[in-house]
Amino acid sequence: MIGAAIGLVACFGKLSERGSGYWIANGFIDFFRTIPEVVLIFWVYSCLPLLLSIRISSEACGVIALSLFSGAYLAEIFRAGILAVPRGQVDAAYALAIPRIHIWRKIIIPPAIRRMMPAFVNFLTELLKATSLLSAIAVGEMAYTASVLGAKTLSYFEFLSAIAVLYFVLIFPISMFARRAEKNLLRRTGHWVLNFSSTTALMTENHFISCSNVCKSFGDFMALRDISVEIKQGEIICIVGPSGGGKSTFLRVLNALESVDSGEITVDRINLPGSATDVENIRREVGMVFQQFNLFEHMSIRENVTFAPRMSRKISLDEANQLAEKLLARVGIEEQIDKFPNHLSGGQQQRVAIARALAMRPKAMLFDEPTSALDPEMVVEVLDVIRELATEGMTMLIVTHEMGFAKEVAGRMIFMAGGRIVVDEETDRFFTASTNPELEQFLSNIL
């Protein structure tokens, strides 16, 4: 239990990826993972009473040593379980304005426990065996040699420290290599970290969404370059362009899932970046639907739809259930309400994702290529739901490659390439009268 508590503290310190807590946690994990248990036990037993100038029983020394050792290993097991929770599910929870404590309690911790449990149980099993066998079998020779030399010279500290340094020199480079490999992998695949920062929100213009000279980069890659655009309430805008053009990143910064490097963003008269409360207020009013559905895999369809309005809007369970039944009927899958996401087709899962976003009663919707992950026969059923929303006057920004659908529903088209808004025109002119060569080349390739 003590080791688990230490591991949790070190885990959260390392997840923060900033400040003194991160470096202390890193140093603790690297140091105590490199020292064999038997050496640490001898070290604590021989040296800790001398350093603290107090009498410590052998049992207490054993508990302290094994707690430090297990805490270092359990920290990485806990961290692996948390990072294994798909980032998309965490993004979806934040996009639904679910309070942070409930995201951890219901979205992150349950699946993280399932993912870390095999490694956790395996470590505990090995730890139990090691406590009874290490001194006799695992590293007997080195520990015995240190004990004999220490007895002859009465210099236990020097010899045990030498052993610790030897193991540290041998194992620390492996830890550094693993950390570098992890960073390289996460740079390609993306991950999420704890975010404790917040800034002050401001009130600005009357447009529902307004962007001015917004820039966003990932390392050396400039994802958004001087984005300036204004969107009025009730507008339906389709955003098209080549892959890597910044379309998805643009939607993510509007929902504060990504911070900006420079520029100004105003959503529903609240500036970004804003305080945690202001960001949650924006997310309550701006729903988001993702490419990969990002349903909460450990929750039923009913729970997926009801969880955010209950936690964020504070509506009752009965009201939330009635709302879920109504919205699922609206998107044509009311009979699936008590199933789990993995029992549904891709098209059905995306319709659940739309119902989940609508359950927050948003003023606007952001659709990030909602049909890109679907088989062709499932595309129509999702587009039909979006068409219905369009007829009701919902403000929508839709990233899509479905040009026929875009012609039908959009009043305005935006073409993005290289992180820039290249063309921003009314739909008819966009397809028939635009003179931009980049747009002409793009349309000729896909139409």
Q: What is the DSSP string of 317-383?
A: HHHHHHHHHHHHHHTT-GGGTTS-GGGS-HHHHHHHHHHHHHTT--SEEEEESTTTTS-HHHHHHHH
Report d(CA 171, CA 165) in Å as an integer: 10
Residue 144 lies in a domain: yes
Q: 251 and 183 share a domain?
A: no
Other C-beta atoms within 10 Å of 56: how many?
15
Residue 150 lies in a domain: yes
Report d(CA 245, CA 254) in Å as an integer: 16
Question: What are the tokens at 11?
Answer: 């885990």
Instruction: CATH number of the domain at 271, please.
Output: 3.40.50.300
E strand map for 30-99: none
Q: 185 and 213 share a domain?
A: no
How many alpha carbons fall within 13 Å on the CB side of residue 395?
Answer: 17
SS3 call for 226: strand
Residue 29 lies in a domain: yes
pTM for the model stands at 0.68
153 — pLDDT class (breaks 50, 70, 90): low
- Residues whose CB is less than 8 angstroms from the CB of residue 259 and which lie 6 or more positions away in sequence, other chains included: 216, 253, 273
Q: Look at the chain and report how many structural domains it folds into.
A: 2
How much is the CA Rg of the chain, to the nearest whole Å?
Answer: 28
215 — pLDDT class (breaks 50, 70, 90): very high
Report d(CA 446, CA 442) in Å as an integer: 7
Instruction: CATH number of the domain at 18, please.
Output: 1.10.3720.10
Residue 199 lies in a domain: no
Residue 165 has pLDDT above 80, yes or no: no
Q: 82 and 181 share a domain?
A: yes
- 318 or 94, higher pLDDT: 318
Q: Which of 131, 160, 189 is the last residue of a domain?
A: 189
Q: 304 and 166 share a domain?
A: no
Residue 313 lies in a domain: yes
- Residues whose CB is less than 8 angstroms from the CB of residue 381 and which lie 6 or more positions away in sequence, other chains included: 332, 347, 351
Q: 342 and 375 share a domain?
A: yes
Q: 250 and 367 share a domain?
A: yes
Residue 71 has pLDDT above 80, yes or no: yes
pLDDT at 216: 92
- Between the two ends of the chain, the Cα-to-Cα distance in Å is 62
pLDDT at 174: 57
Average pLDDT over residues 345-372: 85
Q: Give the tens place of pLDDT for each residue, 88-123.
A: 888 888 888 888 888 888 888 888 887 787 777 767
Q: 172 and 93 share a domain?
A: yes
Residue 157 lies in a domain: yes
Q: Which of 159, 189, 219 is the last residue of a domain?
A: 189
Residue 223 has pLDDT above 80, yes or no: yes
What is the DSSP secondary structure assignment for residue 439, as one 8-state letter? H
Q: 331 and 416 share a domain?
A: yes
Q: 241 and 372 share a domain?
A: yes
Q: 179 and 304 share a domain?
A: no
Do the Cβ atoms of 265 and 210 come closer than 8 Å?
A: yes
Residue 27 has pLDDT above 60, yes or no: yes
Q: CA dihedral in degrees (291, 292, 293, 294; nearest 10)? A: -120
What is the DSSP secondary structure assignment for residue 121, as one 8-state letter? H
Q: Give the tens place of pLDDT for each residue, 387-415.
A: 877 777 788 888 988 888 888 888 889 98
Residue 130 lies in a domain: yes
Residue 338 lies in a domain: yes
Give the structural domain span for 110.
2-189
Q: 104 and 224 share a domain?
A: no
pLDDT averaged over the chain?
78
Q: Which of 155, 189, 223 is the last residue of a domain?
A: 189
Average pLDDT over residues 2-27: 83
134 — pLDDT class (breaks 50, 70, 90): very low
Report d(CA 447, CA 440) in Å as an integer: 10
Q: 23 and 57 share a domain?
A: yes
Average pLDDT over residues 40-65: 74
